[in-house]
Structures are given as structure tokens and as C-alpha cells.
Amino acid sequence: MGRHSCCFEQKLRKGLWSPEEDEKLLGHITKYGHGCWSSVPKLAGLQRCGKSCRLRWINYLRPDLKRGAFSQQEENLIIELHAVLGNRWSQIAAQLPGRTDNEIKNLWNSCIKKKLRQGGIDPNTHKPLSEVAKEEEKQLTSQKNNELSKPKPQMVSMEQQYPVEVSSVTTSKVIINNKSTSTNNMTTSAPPPTHEFLLERFGASNESPTTTTSCRPCDLVGYFSFQQLLNYGSNIGLSINHHHHHHPNPNLPKSDAMISEFNSAVYPSLSPPTPAEIKPTISIPPLDNNSFYRGWEAGTSSNNMSSSSSNGSNCSFELQSNCSLSENNLFPWDLTTTDKEVQIQALDGDTNNIKWSGYLHSQFLMNQNPHNTIYNEMKSETTPFSNPPAWQLNHQNQHQQSIQDLQRLAAAIGPI
């Protein structure tokens, strides 16, 4: 069970895709949509399994892919998201329009990990390496002790260990305060950081006056503002602005000051606010996709989602769109217009960065001409699959789902 039948089939090609194969797949999908992936190879005349076709499309042929090197902003965002999501590459990729999970995963494994280590940060835990080493030592000793007392170690599921479901916020799964889950195996590969860690990172410490109950507003802040970021989709960068200038977190021991400085550089938008009474307000955009996007578009480059604090504290949480949608057309297609497909083009508009192979490159550049584009074909075709294309619907649905998730969460929590 679970195995793809295609995996057993003989005579299927493997390995790198030839330009001819790419052309066939591209031609087929742009004309008919992918529909059922398992039927794509047959229909497109390819000796590949459907899974391979899907992967090729998603990772390489999709027209909304942003090619070229990752910007520093993107890298920073990946680091920030990894701190929250762990190795959930697809969810991280969902916040970086035009980037694939595979690409991000590769970048993480080849570059970012190394950079973080060089900066004294453990890439798995996002904590200073020195701290992690200490914890490992502690764990080793406590493990030894446990082995003496317990014959078998208890398995802890991810849900038990990190009970806040980051990917899909549903009222049933949100646990406001997970103080009970103190076991935090920092040696495992890339666990999402704990709630406590986020509190530490965000500076929402016990100094808050509202810390006595099990449902503190500040407890929500770390996750919830991040959740807002995550759910509000691809074009939002999180910035936690505290109106002090950057300085090492006073809560950190002095020996960690350098690391803190590094954090400021690597996590430029994540410099911890001073421990203060942060009380975010939540504004929920309407469900209507178009008006939501227009709402972002209508704003300036900085769209405050929540920025008030109850006592006039200098801290504010602010969600920013990276830049104005109207300026950069960050969505690969403009959902508010009728000529959607005509708008599809390299997102950053920098053709030098486009890594298409030669024939594809010329083909796509050609296709950017609204008068000569296969995407016009896509639009005009009225096949069961391509009206609109599934990959467009997916993107659209993803945002709508995110908004609905957030609304459910807000409804469950009530006014803060």
C-alpha cells in the first residue's frame, strides 16, 4: 500500500530531463493542465511516471517560478520561517513566491546551515551553539540517569512535543500555553523551536504583568504574530519593530553578545523587542480574495496588521508587505484583473537571473509578449483541466485557506 504503481512499471525513463521531454510536458500542461498526474505521461507522450512529471513541473517548468540566486531578504525570511516551522519546506516555500520547497531545502542544506554555524548559531535549534552544547551535555547526563531508572524511553510524538500546529490553524489544535511540554530534544534534526524559545526570542518574558494565567496575551504573541505572517501569505515579511535602535538583547548573558549581534545581522527583522507588554490587535481581512489583495495593494509599503500596545509601550508588531503589490506584481498573476495569464512573467523582471535552459528561455521570453503567448492559449482553451489552471487555483486556495484558518483561530480566542 502506498507505493505508486508507476514505480513498478518498466521502460520508464529516469534521471535528467531532456529538452524534448520538457517541451512535451510543458506543451501538454499549458494546453490541457495537468489534471491527473498519472495520466499526464501517457497523454504527453512521455516515458516517465506521473510523479516525475509532477516534480519536473513544480520544480522547473512552472511559469511562476522565480529563478536566480536568493536575495538576502529571502534568505533571512527562510531562516526566520525555519525557526518557526522547522524542516517544513513546503510551508516555508509557500511564503516565498516563486520558490520551490526543493530549492529552499537545497539552499538550507548547502548554504544557510553553514552560514549559521559559522555565526555560532545551531541551524537546528536556532540557538547559540554554546547553549546547545550545554543542553546536549545536560541531556546526556539526564539520559543516563533515565536509563538507569526507566527500562525503555518513552516516544514523544511531534504533536506532543510541539503541540501548536503551525501549518493549519484549527481551533481544536491550538494550545495556547504549552508549558507542560518541557522535553525539548535539541539534538534531533530541525525540530521547530519550542514555544519557550519563541518567547525568549521575542522577549515576551515572565516580566509581563499578565503572566499568571495560563492564557497570557504575551503567550500568543510569538506564535500568533508569526501565524499571521504565515497565514497572510507569500508576500509578507515579518518585521517586529521595537522603536529602540538595535542593541543586543539585555537579557542575554554578556558572553552571548556577539551572537546576539550576529542575530541582528542574520535575523534583521527578528531582533527581539524588549520584554514588554505587547498586546496585539487582530484585524481579519474579509474572505474575499480580491479585496484582501487589494487591501494590501491599497496600503503603502508598510501594512500594519497589529501595532498597538496596551500601555503605550514602544513595542509594536507589524506585518509588512515586502513592497507594494502594485509596484512589483508580487503575485505571479494578478487576481484582480481579467487578463490573468498575460501578466505571467519572471517575477523579478530580471531576465539575467532566469536559469531557463536556452530553448526554454527564449520560449518564455517570447511568451511574455501578450500577443504571442502560450498562456493566452491556456486562457482561451476551455478544457476540463485548464479553466483556470490547477496551479493557479492552488495558489488562490492556499491564501483563502489561510485567511479562513486565521478567522477560526481569532474566533476561538476571542478579542485579546
Q: Which residue lies nearer to DNA by CB, 110 or 149? A: 110
157 is an interface residue for DNA by CB under 7 A: no
Choose one: 55-63, 218-226, 230-238, 340-348; the region binding DNA (CB under 7 A): 55-63
- Taking residues 125 to 154 in sequence order and writing x for each that binds DNA by CB under 7 A, - otherwise, the string is ------------------------------
- Which residue in the set 60, 232, 331, 356 belongs to the binding site for DNA (CB under 7 A)? 60
Pick the closest to residue 301 from 235, 229, 230, 395 (CA basis): 235
Nearer to DNA, 5 or 311 (CB): 5
By rule CB under 7 A, what string of x and - marks binding of each residue 195-224 to DNA? ------------------------------
CA 10/CA 48 separation, integer angstroms: 10
CA 347 to chain centre: 18
Three-state SS for the chain is: CCCCHHHHCCCCCCCCCCHHHHHHHHHHHHHHCCCCHHHHHHHHCCCCCHHHHHHHHHHHHCCCCCCCCCCHHHHHHHHHHHHHHCCCHHHHHHCCCCCCHHHHHHHHHHHHHHHHHHCCECCCCCCEHHHHHHHHHHHHHHHHHHHHHCCCCCCCCHHHHCCCCCCCCCCCCCCCCCCCCCCCCCCCCCCCCCHHHHHHHHCCCCCCCCCCCCCCHHHHHHHHHHHHHHHCCCCEEEEEEECCCCCCCCCCCHHHHHHHHHHHHHCCCCCCCCCCCCCCCCCCCCCCHHHHHHHHHHCCCCCCCCCCCCCCCCEEEEEEECCCHHHHCCCCCCCCCCCCHHHCCCCCCCHHHCCCCHHHHHHHHHHCCCCCCHHHHHHHCCCCCCCCCHHHHHHHHHHHHHHHHHHHHHHHHCCC
Question: Which CB atom, from 82 or from 216, has the smaller least distance to DNA?
Answer: 82
Candidates 73-81, 99-107, 301-309, 311-319 — which segment interacts with DNA by CB under 7 A?
Answer: 99-107
| Number of chain positions touching DNA (CB under 7 A) | 43
Residue 2 contacts DNA per CB under 7 A: yes
Could you say whether residue 404 binds DNA (CB under 7 A)?
no
- Is residue 254 close enough to count as binding DNA by CB under 7 A? no
Which stretch, 110-118, 141-149, 234-242, 305-313, contacts DNA (CB under 7 A)?
A: 110-118
50 sits near DNA (criterion: CB under 7 A): yes
For residue 54, the minimal CB distance to DNA (Å) is: 6
Rule CB under 7 A: say whether 183 interacts with DNA. Answer: no
Stretch of residues binding DNA (CB under 7 A), selected from 95-103, 266-274, 302-310, 368-376: 95-103
What does the alpha-carbon distance between residue 125 and residue 186 come to, in Å, rounded to a whole number? 6
Span of 48-56, 169-177, 248-256, 271-279 interacting with DNA by CB under 7 A: 48-56
Site string for DNA, 64-93 (x = CB under 7 A): -----------------------xxxxx--
User: By CB under 7 A, which span of 56-64, 238-246, 249-257, 292-300 interacts with DNA?
Assistant: 56-64
The answer to whether 109 contacts DNA (rule: CB under 7 A) is: yes
Q: Which of 31, 54, 62, 408 binds DNA (CB under 7 A)?
A: 54
Minimum distance of DNA from residue 103's CB (angstroms): 6
110 binds DNA (CB under 7 A): yes
Residues 6+ positions from 253 with CB-CB distance below 8 Å: none
Where on the chain is the footprint of DNA (CB under 7 A)? 1-7, 13-17, 36-38, 48, 50-52, 54-56, 59-60, 87-91, 101-103, 105-107, 109-111, 114, 189-190, 355, 394
